[in-house]
Amino acid sequence: MAWPRERSLRGGPVLRNRTIDVTGVRSYRHGIAATARRRELGTTSRRSALRPSDFRGFPLDAAARAMVREYNRRLRPYGLSYVPYFVLLLLVAGDEGLRPSDVAAELRLDASSLSGHLDRLEASGLLERRPDAADRRVIRAHATDAGRALAARLEPIGRALCSLEADLDAAALARIDRVVQTIAAGTAQAPERGAPALRPRAGVVTTLRAATLTVPRSIVGRILTRFAVLVEQRTGGAIRIVLDLPSAARGGELQTLVDVRSGDVAIASVTVPVAGNLIPDAQLIELPYLLDDFAHAHAFLDGPFAAGVLADAQAFGLEGLGYAANGFRSVTTRDVAVRAPADVAQLRLRVQQSPINVHLAEAFRAVAVPLPFPRLAEALAACEIDAQENALANVAGLELWRSQRYLTLTRHAVSVAALFANAEILAGLGSRAAIVRSAMRDAIAEQRLQAERLEAELHAELARRMTLIELDEAARDRFVAAMRVVDDRIARALGPDAIARVRDASLAARPVPTLA
């Protein structure tokens, strides 16, 4: 009897797109017999075990880790660590600012890793992002006066830290770098002999990990659940989707974005503000009061602006599979009944890890507390924060009524998740990649039909557990006016044409009213 074999396009544990190879009984017995024969003949050979001392780079690695610890110890009182300090030094040295890609190349960082450092430096007032004077589509990072002042203040510490590296030979380091780069390039071009082929073979089950941080009953959760069923049905079980739903990644959606780029996750949903750390235009989809209702949101997400965001993901090794409108975002609070923007002032407001959400808190005159989604319920229960804003599905799914008394239906944005696949993994599926794409499209289309009904159910459920505050037209207008600050801040970062483009796309997608 031939046993099934299961493998994935990446190695690792089963929830990391794992390969499980279960050989047939005949092969198993053959292996035992061959081992016995080798023992009888006395031909069993054993290589000497490798030890860390066999690697000349090991002492260098150990010394480097010790140096980083010392950098961090000295810089921590100033709110910096090793990498952000070097980012700041580069920006101070560049009078005309630097493109993030140039900083990433100089420091040999992944672009998504750098984005988080830039966000934190910007939130601390040490840098600002501005459009390039010659090409407004290009964003450059500039050190602020505060950033330059801090760099000057830290110069004695920086020079002292340089002494840690005085004995390192530059020529030797350059040779090490050349060797490492050559090995890396060779590995990429010539996979190790015996490594599993990327394309699925007959009789092999491919397991792909799909992750989202949102709750199962949300639109995103329902889409991924239905998607998994459709893929298995349409491939006859040749592809299985293992759902990490909800994911408990402590790094939140930023970590999920990194994981899908690296291939640790094959498919993931990431809210568009967080995707904006990689693709700046993505965050514009959640510009306050951009979309009126689900029909308007779905038309916009099917339009050219949203399609352009998915196309831009290709530059980062991602393929956009579509969008999920997860419901309208509203504000919850513990002690304050919010009826006007001023009621949120000075509250500690949890926001997503993205610039546009920090600006949202600024519009409320609240204290922005960027937190990964998995920490939200815990932080509210511990009174680390006073308020948060989220889709109703997440408010209900996390049972936030346990720590939040009021829910004000500001409906200030549609919570939109982009569904990304690792492009290399998807390409490795060969002809079956089309099945995966069509299964996602169909799952999205099915759940769109349920969006209004689910929102109404959640509204009724939360009304029984929390004090709901509905806004009349005048109150809503006050929130709309307050949120214009977000447009201004984003325009400073991405240029006024970015705001105009997304607002024009929203207007074009707005359904034309029909005459009764």
Question: Are residues 112 and 254 in contact, defined by beta-carbon separation less than 8 angstroms?
Answer: yes
Mean pLDDT of the chain: 82
- Look at residue 111 in the predicted model and tell me its pLDDT: 58
| DSSP character at residue 335 | S
Burial (0-12, 13-18, 19+ Cβ within 10 Å), 51: exposed
SS3 of residue 462 by DSSP: helix
Cβ neighbours of residue 438 closer than 8 Å, sequence gap 6 or more: 234
pLDDT tops 70 at residue 486? yes
pLDDT tops 90 at residue 506? yes
Write out the two tokens for 15.
């929830």
- Look at residue 403 in the predicted model and tell me its pLDDT: 95
Residues of the chain above pLDDT 90, percent: 48
Mean pLDDT computed over 37-61 = 58
The residues with which 217 forms a beta bridge, in sequence order, are: none
Question: Are residues 261 and 316 in contact, defined by beta-carbon separation less than 8 angstroms?
Answer: yes
Question: Are residues 273 and 354 in contact, defined by beta-carbon separation less than 8 angstroms?
Answer: yes
Angle at 343 between CA 342 and CA 347, to 5 degrees: 105
Give the least confident one: 78-92, 103-117, 192-206, 307-321: 192-206
Cis amide leading into 246 (omega within 30): yes
Of residues 367 and 50, more confidence is placed in 367
Residue keyed to tokens 């089963």: 14
- Look at residue 201 in the predicted model and tell me its pLDDT: 44
Q: In what helix (H) or strand (E) does residue 272 lie, and over which residues does it extend?
A: helix 272-275
Extract the runs of DSSP E, i.e. beta strands, from 379-470: 387-391, 406-422, 467-469
- Look at residue 10 in the predicted model and tell me its pLDDT: 43
Angle at 100 between CA 99 and CA 102, to 5 degrees: 65
- Look at residue 179 in the predicted model and tell me its pLDDT: 66
pLDDT tops 90 at residue 350? yes
Give the least confident one: 116-125, 312-321, 347-356: 116-125
The residues with which 391 forms a beta bridge, in sequence order, are: 329
Write out the two tokens for 302.
């099917």
* pLDDT, tens only, 274-286: 999 889 999 999 9
Give 66's pLDDT tier (boundaries 50, 70, 90): confident
* pLDDT, tens only, 447-467: 999 999 999 999 999 999 999
The residues with which 322 forms a beta bridge, in sequence order, are: 419
- Look at residue 167 in the predicted model and tell me its pLDDT: 66
pLDDT tops 50 at residue 321? yes
